[in-house]
């Protein structure tokens, strides 16, 4: 299939990257779920609060796939060492040829089942409730296990997520997606790696390089985290390029 | 989602969940955060063995036990103790630090082939 043979982001220049990032963070463009491009960690750090902004933007020569985007803003707080609720207060989406719009809200929970490193693999669980504000859209439940394994500086994460409509008229269909992230911690601020996303229901599979890291804010108990990546579609139904951006402010 | 996807996912889930076998008794070490420093600042631990470090924060400010060398990050609130599971690690030196006090809170795990002494605190480096 043709998309899988393209080199990653041919012709994309740094200033174009910055412009796309700025656009995403402004929430000015956006479509599909930003949740589709995150690989959750099962780890919960008690007492920590987070403000997070993330989104994606697709670039593709085909009209149906070019210019899809989404962004969302969320707040979370880890009340215990095993439970972190997160509220998405703004979720924007934009589909090709349409204007962007506020699509709803979401209440997400991360449950940490095992301590990091306690067993061969760390296990957690994600459960969230999506409340769309678009007419005709059903409320949705998302749930599934989260796995993480570290080998020295290497870190591997795997998510298996199911999505199910709920309420009157809800479809019986369970939509499934999975994602993997593998990174190497060169330092706390620079952790390059790859991410892979599979959405069998959309026949869309994507892989690409990412880098994430964090900086401590001097004289505080706060950190700033970032994550940027460029995913390449590896089959015909996936967008050729998807830019992924995430910023997070953590504090106690 | 078709039946094959569901079946494949459940098999993978079962395999991964089954891998979470009981850790059993594992060597235990202790670290104290005091005056924004780790005491001791070095621990000798056995190679190729999973172990745990109990980190107690005696300061009145939070601390964050962190390491890029062995990928751990754990907040230690004032007056509390957290358990950090580490390893198995190969022989070598692995740095850790207090992310909230990076200029003072630094330490190192010295991983060696000897057993390292279960639960034994080692002298601070340089003493």
Q: What is the pLDDT of residues B7-62, one digit of tens each?
A: 455 444 444 444 444 445 899 999 999 999 999 999 999 999 999 999 999 999 99
The pLDDT confidence band at residue A97, using thresholds 50, 70 and 90, is confident
End-to-end, the C-alpha distance of chain A in Å comes to 48
Q: Which of A30, A33, A42 is nearest to A127 (CA)?
A: A42
Higher pLDDT, A250 or B12: A250
Interface TM-score (ipTM) > 0.85: no
For chain B, the average pLDDT equals 81
CA distance B102 to chain A (A): 9
Say whether pLDDT at A193 is over 80: yes
Dump pLDDT digits (tens) for A59-96. Answer: 988 887 888 899 999 999 999 999 999 999 988 888 88
Provide the pLDDT for residue B9. 52
Q: Which of B7, B14, B20 should one mutate to test binding to chain A, selecting the residue with the greatest count of A CBs within 10 A? A: B20
Residues of A in contact with B50 (CB under 8 A): 117
User: Percent of chain A having pLDDT more than 90?
Assistant: 71
In this prediction, residue A10 has a pLDDT band, given cuts at 50, 70 and 90, of very low
Mean pLDDT check: name the lowest of A28-32, A88-92, A101-105, A212-216: A28-32
What is the arithmetic mean of pLDDT over A96-103?
A: 78
Separation of alpha carbons A229 and A217, rounded Å: 23
Q: Which pLDDT band, with edges at 50, 70 and 90, does A133 fall under?
A: confident
Identify which of A59-63, A96-100, A103-107, A139-143 has the greatest average pLDDT. Answer: A139-143
pLDDT given at position A84? 98
Chain segment A221-246, per-residue pLDDT in tens: 999 999 999 999 999 989 999 999 99
- Could you tell me which residue, B109 or A22, shows the higher pLDDT? B109
Q: What is the pLDDT of residue A34?
A: 57
How much is the pLDDT for A134? 78
List the one residue out of B3, B1, B52 whose CA is nearest residue B23: B52
Tally C-beta pairs within 8 A across A and B.
95
Question: Pick from B27, B89, B35: which is nearest to B58 by CA?
Answer: B35
Residue A119 has its nearest CB partner, among B21, B61, B87, at B21
**What is the separation, in whole angstroms, between the first and last Cα of chain B?**
62
Average pLDDT over residues B88-107: 95
Task: Give the least confident one: A25-39, A46-60, A172-186, A204-218.
Answer: A25-39
Q: Residue B85 and residue A155: Cβ atoms within 8 Å?
A: no
Which of A115, A145, A174 shows the shortest C-beta gap to B13? A145
User: In chain B, what residues touch A185 (CB-CB under 8 Å)?
Assistant: 68-69, 71
Distance, in Å, from the CA atom of A227 to the CA atom of A49, rounded to the nearest integer, reads 18
Residue of B nearest to A48 (CA): B75
Burial class (CB in 10 A: 0-12, 13-18, 19+), A229: buried
CB nearest A117 (choices: B6, B13, B85): B85
% chain A with pLDDT above 70: 86
Distance CA B63, CA B81 (A): 11
Contact yes or no for A201 and B16 at CB 8 A:
no
């Amino acid at each position: 299939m043709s998309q899988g043979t393209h080199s990653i982001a041919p012709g994309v220049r740094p200033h174009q990257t910055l412009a796309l990032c700025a656009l995403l963070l402004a929430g000015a463009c956006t479509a599909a779920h930003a949740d589709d491009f995150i690989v959750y960690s099962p780890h919960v750090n008690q007492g920590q609060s987070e403000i997070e902004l993330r989104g994606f933007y697709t670039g593709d020569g085909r009209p149906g796939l070019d210019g899809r985007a989404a962004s969302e803003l969320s707040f979370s707080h880890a009340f215990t060492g095993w439970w972190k609720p997160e509220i998405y207060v703004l979720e924007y989406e934009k589909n090709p040829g349409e204007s962007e719009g506020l699509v709803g809200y979401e209440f997400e929970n991360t449950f940490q089942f095992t301590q990091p490193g306690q067993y061969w693999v760390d296990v957690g669980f994600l459960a969230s409730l999506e409340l769309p504000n678009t007419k005709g859209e059903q409320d949705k439940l998302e749930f599934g296990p989260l796995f993480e394994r570290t080998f020295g500086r290497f870190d591997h994460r795997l998510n298996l997520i199911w999505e199910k409509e709920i309420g009157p008229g809800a479809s019986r269909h369970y939509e499934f997606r999975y994602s993997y992230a593998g990174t190497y911690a060169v330092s706390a601020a620079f952790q390059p790696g790859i991410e892979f996303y599979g959405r069998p229901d959309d026949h869309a599979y994507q892989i690409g390089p990412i880098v994430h890291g964090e900086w401590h804010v001097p004289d505080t108990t706060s950190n700033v985290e970032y994550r940027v990546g460029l995913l390449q579609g590896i089959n015909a139904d996936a967008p050729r390029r998807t830019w992924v951006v995430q910023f997070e402010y953590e504090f106690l | 989602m078709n039946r094959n996807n569901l079946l494949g996912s459940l098999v993978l889930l079962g395999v991964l969940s089954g891998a979470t076998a009981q850790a059993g008794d594992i060597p235990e070490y202790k670290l104290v955060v005091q005056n924004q420093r780790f005491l001791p600042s070095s621990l000798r631990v056995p190679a190729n063995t999973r172990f745990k470090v109990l980190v107690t924060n005696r300061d009145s400010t939070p601390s964050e036990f962190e390491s890029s060398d062995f990928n751990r990050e754990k907040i230690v609130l004032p007056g509390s103790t957290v358990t950090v599971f580490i390893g198995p690690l190969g022989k070598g030196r692995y740095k850790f630090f207090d992310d909230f006090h990076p200029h003072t809170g630094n330490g190192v795990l010295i991983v060696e082939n000897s057993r390292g002494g279960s639960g034994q605190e080692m002298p601070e480096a340089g003493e």
